[in-house]
Amino acid sequence: ELKVEQNPLFLSMQEGKNYTIYCNYSTTSDRLYWYRQDPGKSLESLFVLLSNGAVKQEGRLMASLDTKARLSTLHITAAVHDLSATYFCAVDPPGHKYIFGTGTRLKVLA
């Protein structure tokens, strides 16, 4: 069964703190995507990771991919309230279309 699991499902953190969201997937995938979704809104693309060892950074967010471990991480540095949202990872295995993770609901407290 193709599964994409995120950990944790819920995360409440203080402003200024660092934390990491983990995304594990059960099948081979050429690439991994991270999306952000605000309540009642659509999905916004954050990162596309294309190869083993890929690392991308945008502002306070940094994503990495380890295809051998089938693991991606989304690291949050010095969190701010504006980062509060739900974050999804997704994979694109051969012969299938996007499979999304369970989502991580992040709440940054002032």
Partner 1 sequence: DAGVTQSPTHLIKTRGQQVTLRCSPKSGHDTVSWYQQALGQGPQFIFQYYEEEERQRGNFPDRFSGHQFPNYSSELNVNALLLGDSALYLCASSPAGAGRYGDTDTQYFGPGTRLTVL
Contact status: 62 vs partner 1 (CB under 8 A): no
Residue (35 or 64) nearer to partner 1, CB: 35
Please give, one letter per residue, the 3-state secondary structure of the chain. Answer: CCCEEEECCEEEEECCCCEEEEEEECCCCCCEEEEEECCCCCEEEEEEECCCCCEEEECCEEEEEECCCCEEEEEECCCCHHHCEEEEEEECCCCCCCEECCCEEEEEEC
Among 52, 78, 81, 98, which residue sits at the site for partner 1 (rule: CB under 8 A)?
98
Among 13, 43, 62, 71, which residue sits at the site for partner 1 (rule: CB under 8 A)?
43
Residue (4 or 108) nearer to partner 1, CB: 4
Residue (34 or 76) nearer to partner 1, CB: 34
Residues within the interface to partner 1 (CB under 8 A): 4, 30-31, 33, 35, 41-45, 48-50, 88, 90, 92, 96-103
